[in-house]
A = this chain, B = another copy of it.
Amino acid sequence: MYYIGIDIGGTDLKTAIVDAQGKILAKAQCPTFANRAYQDIVKDMCSTALEALQESGVQLTDIHSVGVGIPGIANENTGKVIFCTNLSWYDIPLAEEIQKHINKPVFINNDATVAGYAESMAGVSKDTHSSVFITLGTGIGAGIVINGKPWSGFHGIGSELGHATLDMIDGVQCTCGNKGCVERYCSATAIIRMAKEALANIDNNLMLQKCNGNLDNLNAKMIFDAAKEGDPIATNVFNTYIEYLCKTIAMVINIIDPEVIVLGGGLSKAGDFLLHAVNANIEKHLLFKTCAYPRIAIAKLGADAGVIGAALLGK
């Protein structure tokens, strides 16, 4: 059997035809145009998926199910989207609407959960029993897989690691209304904030050169690159970031202790530079310093993780 995977974002919607091993046979995508009626977006989701189906050469009768990764929260049982802020979707009967166009079982889950599931089915955590995927991007998301199955909580509100509290008393104000959330210390947004703070009153520095003196253009890659090239201020910022990230990884170990922890999202493109720093620093944050603990790895499916994981939800 084959599976349709749909990854719906605020900008683009991506679809793919995926086999049972998580291999992509064909892909198609189109812009989301998020401020349309959801029925119109769903229509485009389905026609784009059918376009990929045609390209793949697979027949619709050989499609087992449709899976959708959404940047929000879904009720797995009812097939409804509870909400999806980016798309202004609240209480949307997504499965039902998809079935008007493609009459197959529909599975819906959070996009980070789905990406973590993809890594555990066809990526760096393949054949593992349990994993926690952490997306280090503009924000922080997570995808938990336990006993080989995605877990986003009983009410669909779990795996929101970005909003676990890391610094309760005087923590940085978070966009969610609480203070000291993980996202304020481990996201790209956080490392950029930290670098800007460190560069206050500094005239000349490698990070400033990389952004042509305009801090509005400073991004996480520039900071990582400057640290890699030995810039002392960037190195300090990077080391502090690694300290925070290790605290967060230790939180995941102390609570869930999966077989593997996978780092994904934009910051994970730093690859071995990031991974070596984490591995060199994680042990001092662990509770049981002599016990085996989760392997930490960099995600390998990149932008395809969304469609692959969504597709395999029905497997």
Contact = CB atoms under 8 A, between A and B. Distances in A.
Contacts of A82: 291
A212 interface: no
A291 B156 contact: yes
- Most chain B beta-carbon neighbours within 10 Å: one of A73, A165, A167: A165
B255 A157 contact: no
A117 to B, nearest CB: 15
Nearest to A168: B167
A253 interface: yes
A287 interface: yes
Interface string A135-162: 0000000101011010111111111110
A255 B181 CA distance: 12
Q: Contact residue range for chain A?
A: 35 or more
Query: A-side binding surface: helix, strand, loop or mixed?
Result: loop
A165 B247 contact: yes
A140 B154 CA distance: 23
B259 A164 contact: no
Nearest to A151: B146
B291 A155 contact: yes
A38 interface: no
A154 B129 contact: yes
A42 to B, nearest CB: 22
B256 A255 contact: yes
Most chain B CB neighbours (cut-off 10 Å) among A73, A146, A153, A180: A153
Copies in the complex: 2
B258 A153 contact: yes
Central interface residue in A82, A169, A178, by most chain B CB within 10 Å? A169
Interface in A235-253: 244, 247, 250-253
A163 B287 contact: yes
A292 interface: yes
Interface in A194-227: none
Nearest to A260: B154
B161 A255 contact: yes
Given A129-B154, A147-B147, A163-B287, A168 B247 contact: yes
Contacts of A129: 154
A73 B160 contact: no
A129 B142 CA distance: 21
Interface in A69-83: 73, 82-83
16 contacts: A83-B290, A146-B151, A154-B259, A155-B293, A157-B257, A163-B287, A164-B164, A165-B166, A165-B247, A165-B251, A167-B169, A168-B244, A178-B285, A252-B255, A255-B255, A255-B256
Given A154-B257, A176-B287, A251-B251, 15 more contacts: A146-B151, A152-B257, A156-B257, A157-B254, A158-B254, A158-B255, A160-B287, A161-B254, A164-B164, A164-B250, A164-B251, A165-B250, A167-B169, A252-B255, A255-B255
